[in-house]
Amino acid sequence: MAEPASDPADSARDGDPEVPDIDLPSDAFDAVLDALAGRDPGEPLRFEGFSVGRDDAGEDSDDGDAAGEYRLDPADGDRRTGLSERDLHEALDDRAPTVTDWYAFERVVGEFGPRRAFLRWLEDADGATVATRYAALAEGIERAWGELRITATITDRGERRYDVRHADDAGVPVDDLDAYDDPLDARELVKLDEKGRYRPLKTAPSLAGGWVFPDLGARDAYELVETIYPATVANWHREREGELDVTHWRETMERQSGIYGVVKTWDRGEGHEHVNWVAEACCDDSQCLKRREWQYDDETDLDVDGGDGVFPCREPCSVVVSAARKWTRLESEQPRTYEFDLTPSEKEQVEAIIDAVADGQIDEIREADTKEGANRYRTRFLRAKLFDEDGNLGGVPTESDEEDEE
C-alpha cells in the first residue's frame, strides 16, 4: 500500500518541528505582488497563519508616515498597515516557509486537479502544517506508488525536488543506478521486465529496477509517475472527488465487437461464476497493482476480492478482455472424462505445479530442492514416468480414435 515511509508528523513528536532556513526567492515575492494587484483591498491573499492585502487609499502607516500600499494581518492579531513594498518583502522573508509553500502549489504546480492533489498528497499538505512538512521535507518524505518509491525534499528556496526510483532500490546510492532526468525516458524503462520480457500490462508488479530520476521538479515528477503508471493518478483523484466512473463487466462486454464479440456469448446470467474466475486470475494483487472497482454489473458484486492497490481500476482492461476471449472459446468445449492413475503424491505434485505456475513462483524453487512438487527435476521425472512418446498424460490421447477418423 502507498503509505508514507516517513510520516511528516514524526518530525514534531518531540516538540515543535525544526523548520529549515528558507530564503524567500524573488519569484515567490513577485508572485505575491501579482496576486495582490488583481485583488480589491477587501480581498486579502491568505496564507497559513496570516494574510496580506492592499491598503485602502489614504490609510496612515503604523509609524505615522505616508501610507504604504500593503497590510499584514497575522493570526495573532498584530496587524501591520501602510507597508511599502520593501517592508512587505522583509515581513514575508520572515515568513518564507509559508510563502514559498503557497508559491510552490499556487504558481509552480498550478491548477486544481490530479497533479496538484497528488503532489500535495505526497507531503500530506492537506493535513500537516507548513512547519511540520518543511521539517520532514528537510529529511525527505517517502511515499510508495505501486512499485515506485518517491522521496520529496526541499531546497533552501522552498523548491520541491523529487527522487523517483523502484522500491527495491530504496537506499541505493544514485551513482550505483542508471540516472535519468527526462520523464519520457521512462517509456523505455517500463517496456520490459527484469528478464527482458514485454510487459503488456503497465500496472503489473513486474517493473524492472536499477534506475533513478534523482532530481525532478514538481511537474516532471508528476509526468514521470503518469508515464510509468498511465491514468493512475487521474483515476485516484476522480475517486477522491467522488467522480470515478466505473464500467462493469456486462457493459464492457456488450460493447465488444469483431474478434472480441464472442465474449458476449459467454454469460451465465445470475451465476456469473465465469467472471469470478476471470477476476481471480487477472485482478489479484499479485498480478495487477490496481484495486478492482468494477463488478459484474451495477447490481451484482463479484465474490472475489478486488485487491488493496492505492489506485482504482474502473473497468476491465484490454488484458482481461483478451484473456476472456480465449477462455470463452476454451469454455465452449464439452467436458470429457479421462482415466489414468496417479499416486496420492503425484496428485499433490500436479496441484503444486499448477499453483507454482499461477503464482509465478517457479524461479524461486531451487533445482536441488526435490521436496518441492514444482521442482524442475521432480517434474521431469513425473513427465518421464507418465507421458508416452506422443506426449499424452497416462498414455491417454486427448481425442478419441472415433473423433480422429472424423
The pLDDT profile of the chain, 406 residues, written as one tens digit per residue, is 444 444 444 444 445 678 889 999 999 999 999 999 988 888 999 999 999 998 875 444 444 444 468 999 987 767 888 899 999 999 999 999 999 999 999 999 988 899 999 999 999 999 999 999 999 999 999 999 999 999 999 999 999 999 999 999 999 999 999 999 999 999 999 999 999 999 999 999 999 999 999 999 999 999 999 999 999 999 999 999 999 999 998 888 887 766 555 565 565 555 578 888 889 989 999 999 999 999 988 988 999 999 999 999 999 998 988 888 787 777 777 888 888 899 999 899 999 999 989 888 888 889 888 899 999 888 988 899 989 988 888 888 888 655 554 4
Q: Are residues 119 and 227 in the same domain?
A: yes
- The answer to whether 123 and 8 are in contact (CB under 8 A) is yes
Residues 6+ apart with CB under 8 A from 373: 348, 349, 350, 351, 352, 353, 356, 379
Q: Are residues 89 and 119 in the same domain?
A: no
Q: Are residues 319 and 264 in the same domain?
A: yes
Asked if residue 6 is part of any domain, the answer here is: no
Q: Are residues 143 and 92 in the same domain?
A: no
With b for 16 or more beta-carbon neighbours within 10 A and e for fewer, the 221-251 pattern comes to bbbbbbbbbeebbbbbbbbeeeeeebebbbe
Task: Give the 3-state secondary structure of residue 274.
Answer: helix
Q: Are residues 125 and 202 in the same domain?
A: yes
Q: Are residues 231 and 267 in the same domain?
A: no
How many whole angstroms from its chain centre is CA 35?
34
Asked if residue 5 is part of any domain, the answer here is: no
Domains of the chain: total: 4
Task: Give the 3-state secondary structure of residue 290.
Answer: coil
Q: Are residues 231 and 137 in the same domain?
A: yes
Asked if residue 66 is part of any domain, the answer here is: yes
Q: Are residues 160 and 114 in the same domain?
A: yes
Task: Give the 3-state secondary structure of residue 107.
Answer: helix
Asked if residue 153 is part of any domain, the answer here is: yes
Asked if residue 141 is part of any domain, the answer here is: yes
Q: Are residues 158 and 39 in the same domain?
A: no
**Phi-psi sector, 171: left (phi>0), alpha (psi -120 to 50), beta:** left
Q: Are residues 204 and 319 in the same domain?
A: no
Structural domain boundaries, residue 129: 110-238
Q: Give the span between the Cα atoms of 92 and 98, in whole angstroms.
A: 9
Asked if residue 351 is part of any domain, the answer here is: yes
Query: Could you tell me the sign of the dihedral formed by the alpha carbons of 155, 170, 222, 189, in that order?
Result: positive
Q: How many helices (H) and strands (E) does the chain have?
A: 14, 11
Residue finishing a domain among 220, 238, 256: 238
CATH assignment of the domain containing 233: 3.30.1360.190
Residue finishing a domain among 100, 130, 164: 100
Q: Are residues 93 and 30 in the same domain?
A: yes
Residue finishing a domain among 238, 265, 282: 238
C-alpha cell at 330: 476454451
Q: Are residues 233 and 143 in the same domain?
A: yes
Asked if residue 8 is part of any domain, the answer here is: no
Asked if residue 214 is part of any domain, the answer here is: yes
